[in-house]
Structures are given as C-alpha cells and as structure tokens.
C-alpha cells in the first residue's frame, strides 16, 4: 500500500448512497436519509437512505421474483461461477478504494482493513465460486428396486444482517455461499458502516449478477431489520451481532413463517497462558494484538486473559508494555496499529465497563481513558484491568472495545472451569509447550475455535461459529453451505 494513494482517496468526496433494489439505485420511499459520521474525526462523511419497511419489502419482493423465475438459480453452475469469479476480481481491482472507504466509515486501521475487508472478501467469494460446481447430490443405500436420491436445492430468499466491524468480510461470508448455491439475497448493512458493503454490491452487478438477485437496503434495524425478520417471503435469515438483536430475530421468525435463523452473537473469549508457553514474549505481544487491534471490535477478540499464577505479574507487565507500544490514532495512516472506536456511543459504553470494573475491585494497569479528543474522533487507550474475578461484569459481558480483563489461575482444571464460566462459546486460545495439555485444553474449552500458541488467523477453509449464546450455524468453509440449501429426497421405484 502507498500512503500517498491512501491520502488522495481520503480526500475524495463520498456521494450519498441509495438502496440497491432490483439492480437500481432507489431513494427511501419517504426521501429520508441518515448522516454518516466518520469515527476518525467526527465529521460528516456522507448520507445514506434511511429505509422504511416498504423499502425492505420492495427489496424482498424483487429477490423473490428473481428466485421464482430462476434467472440465477436456473443458470448452469459454470455461469454462476464465472460471474462470482469476476466479482472477486473486481473487488481485488478496487481493493484500496474499498478499504479506504470502509475505514472512513468504521475506523478500522488501514493496515488491517486492507487484508481483512477487500482481501478477505475477494478470497471468500472466489472460494465459493470454485466450490459450487464440485458439490454433488447423493445416492442412498436402498432396498432392491428402489433408487433413493438426495438433491441439494437453494433455500430461496436469504436475508442477511451485517455488522459494522468488518462489513465486507462478514458480508462475503453470507453472500458467497448463498449466491453460489443459487439463492437470492437481501442485505441490511449496519447503520454505522454500510458504505463499503454497498459499493461491493454495486460491483456484483458490474460483474453480471442479474437484477434482483442481490439487493441492499440501508436503515435502522428497528425498522428495516424488523421488516426483514417478519417477512413471509424470507426463507432464511443470517445475522452477526448482539444477543439482544438475535433474540428479536428469532421471535420475528416465530411470528411469521418460521424461517430458519442462523446467528453469530459474539463472545467473551478466553486466552489461557501457562507458565510453560514456548515463548512468553511472543504470547504477550499476540495477546495484546488479539484484543487491541481494530480497537477490540472483533467478535473473536481474546478479551479474557487467563494467566497461570506463577507468571501473572511478569506476564501482565509484558502485555502492558506491548499495549503501550501500540500506535493508536488516525486509521488511515499505515503506521497506526489501533484505529478508532466505531461511534461515540460505543466509546461511552467501553468507558462505562472500565468504571464498573474498578467499582468491582479491578485495577487498571494501563489505559482506561478516552484519548486524542483534539482530533474530533473516537479513540480509547488500550486498557488492561487486573483483579477480574470469573463472575465480574468484565469477565461476563462482551465489551466490544479495547478492554482486557486479567484473571489468574493455579491449575489446568481451574483454567478450563474459568474459560467455560460465561454464556458464550465463540473462540479461545491456549499457550503451552505441553502437547498433551494442548489437546486436553482444546477438548475442554467449549468454543467454536481454539487457537494453540497463536491467536487469530483461520481462513475461509475452516468453519467459524459458536456454541452457547455465541450462536448457531457456521460461516466459512464448505460447512457454511448447509445454511443455504434444502435437501430433497427422490424415492424412485425402478
């Protein structure tokens, strides 16, 4: 990446964004818009359409019509593959533009956003494009004279609600397999970060995706998200976000057509460090990056640090040193390692968690404050709190900010008990040189992914999903396709 090119792109005016319905840019039915404020400097960046329930229903109607006339589902696999591969190519060709637009919108540091957003999105779309013509039906073992066949068919219209932290990456996790299998899709981007995702949808149409197959409606979740959840014409609903919203979506499904609902609801991921970790300095640096990159706004962030008591003080000091060395600031500077918090409301919530932690007996080792206020943006110092008991608020509630709670442990069994002491089960990490212990910890920690002697990094080839109140179903890998198909049995007498 070139800083000069980044600086030039950041100076470009951002046009207002409208809905994308049936291949057309469409204003909100009542003409309303929402301001888009950049978390980097607090300035007005642009405006997006503030959708109504009627707007969402129009998008769903377009998606249903596209599915029923099979303009996409009826295409040969090779044709769908060609379009999706071209889409991935266009994402890559416009990667820097997309990354800068996204950073201006949500505050992620550009060094991370470039890889995690357009880079990851293109790779994900390409993965499912390459997979779609390699997925076969099945022949069942049956009695003589019977042929049992199992067909895989698209589920129909998929509604996808995308969060603000990595809209392109997570959007691709939903759109890639859904479109590959022949479904139509309606997107609802986050209110505070929709621009790069909307541009990505435009590129899909440039790649040749037929009108109506992929639609996007911006607006408030309580309005357009609710309309999507209550629609009788949405067959499957996929969501990444908060547990409260996930519960509402399940209620909407029950109140409407019993649509299937798949949820990824975040976590309170434990990062467990034993005294025999192969490299404690590396573990400290990775632990800091695992919670403070993107200002802690990562669903799998290692927000609970569990440290063997014999090394607790020294290890916390090493993590604090790494945290203090991380460069917080302008997310469009290549040297920045921690960008902006997404919104002022999120920043206030983060600071509230620190206050609660102190009131409950925690000790702030470093950070705990808002910084760089003169920029007009929303920045928080990487924060480490020790003395966090397993039942403390900071150990139980997801902050979604750059706040790390530290809890000591004495034994392997105690570490597993603490790791499993929340309602969440999305991710975790273990640092040990003992191979047998590593396997026991992987088996013992109830999460969808456990990292060993690292934290973060799994790509599209492996599934991403949680247990407990971290949700259900999986994004990424071939397993994600299961959410977007129906199995149909043909029982044929010969």
Catalytic site positions = 264
> Residue 449 corresponds to which tokens in the numbers above?
């992914």
320 within 8 A of 366, measured Cβ to Cβ: yes
> Residue 350 corresponds to which tokens in the numbers above?
């983060």
| Distance between CA atoms of residues 472 and 423, nearest Å | 13
Q: Report the first-to-last Cα separation within the chain, whole angstroms.
A: 62
Burial letters for 245-260: b for 16+ Cβ neighbours within 10 Å, e otherwise?
bbebbbebbeeeeebb
Phi, psi values for residue 87, rounded to 5°: -60, -45
| Distance between CA atoms of residues 247 and 229, nearest Å | 11
Count CB-CB contacts under 10 A for residue 312: 19
Helix, coil or strand: residue 225: helix
| Distance between CA atoms of residues 320 and 184, nearest Å | 48
Which H or E run includes 176?
helix 167-180
Q: Which residues contact 190 (CB under 8 A, 6 or more apart)?
A: 162, 163, 164, 167
| Distance between CA atoms of residues 313 and 318, nearest Å | 9
| Distance between CA atoms of residues 87 and 106, nearest Å | 23
Strands (E), 84-128: none
Q: Could you write out the three-class secondary structure of 246-286?
A: HHHHHHHHHHCCCCEEEEECCCCCEEEECCCCCCHHHHHHH
Q: What is the DSSP letter of 153?
A: E
> Residue 213 corresponds to which tokens in the numbers above?
């197959």
């Amino acid at each position: 990446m070139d800083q000069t090119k980044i600086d030039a792109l950041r100076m470009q005016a951002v046009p207002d964004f409208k809905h994308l319905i049936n291949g057309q840019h469409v204003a909100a039915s009542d003409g309303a818009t929402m301001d888009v404020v950049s978390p980097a400097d607090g300035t007005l960046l642009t405006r997006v359409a503030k959708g109504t329930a009627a707007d969402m229903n129009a998008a769903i109607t377009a998606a249903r019509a596209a599915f029923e006339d099979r303009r996409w589902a009826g295409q040969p696999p090779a044709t769908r593959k060609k379009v999706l591969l071209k889409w991935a190519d266009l994402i890559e060709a416009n990667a820097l533009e997309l990354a800068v637009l996204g950073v201006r919108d949500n505050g992620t540091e550009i060094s991370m956003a470039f890889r995690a957003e357009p880079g990851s999105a293109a790779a994900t779309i390409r993965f499912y494009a390459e997979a779609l013509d390699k997925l076969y039906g099945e022949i069942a073992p049956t009695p003589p004279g019977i042929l049992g066949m199992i067909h895989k068919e698209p589920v129909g219209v998929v509604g996808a609600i995308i969060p603000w932290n990595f809209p392109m990456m997570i959007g691709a996790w939903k759109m890639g397999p859904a479109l590959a299998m022949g479904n139509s899709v309606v997107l609802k981007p986050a209110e505070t970060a929709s621009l790069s995702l909307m541009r990505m949808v435009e590129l899909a149409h440039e790649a040749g995706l037929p009108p109506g197959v992929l639609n996007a409606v911006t607006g408030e979740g309580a309005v357009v998200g609710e309309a999507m959840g209550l629609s009788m014409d949405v067959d499957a609903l996929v969501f990444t976000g908060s547990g409260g919203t996930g519960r509402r979506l399940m209620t909407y499904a029950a109140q409407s057509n019993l649509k299937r609902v798949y949820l990824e609801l975040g976590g309170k991921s434990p990062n467990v460090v034993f005294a025999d970790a192969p490299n404690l300095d590396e573990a400290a640096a990775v632990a800091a990056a695992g919670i403070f990159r993107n200002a802690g706004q990562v669903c799998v962030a290692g927000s609970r640090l569990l440290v063997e008591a014999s090394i607790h003080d020294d290890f916390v000091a090493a993590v604090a040193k790494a945290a203090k060395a991380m460069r917080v600031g302008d997310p469009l500077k290549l040297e920045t390692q921690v960008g902006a918090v997404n919104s002022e409301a999120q920043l206030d919530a983060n600071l509230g968690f620190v206050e609660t932690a102190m009131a409950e007996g925690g000790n702030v080792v470093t950070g705990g404050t808002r910084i760089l206020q003169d920029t007009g943006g929303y920045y928080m110092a990487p924060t480490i709190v020790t003395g966090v008991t397993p039942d403390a608020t900071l150990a139980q509630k997801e902050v979604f900010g750059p706040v790390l709670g530290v809890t000591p442990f004495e034994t392997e069994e105690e570490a597993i008990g603490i790791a499993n002491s929340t309602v969440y089960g999305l991710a975790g990490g273990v640092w040990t040189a003992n191979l047998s212990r590593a396997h026991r910890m992987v088996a013992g920690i109830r999460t969808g992914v456990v990292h060993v002697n690292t934290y973060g990094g799994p790509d599209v080839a492996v599934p991403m999903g949680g247990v407990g109140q971290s949700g259900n179903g999986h994004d990424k890998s071939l397993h994600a396709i299961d959410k977007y198909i129906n199995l149909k049995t043909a029982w044929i007498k010969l």
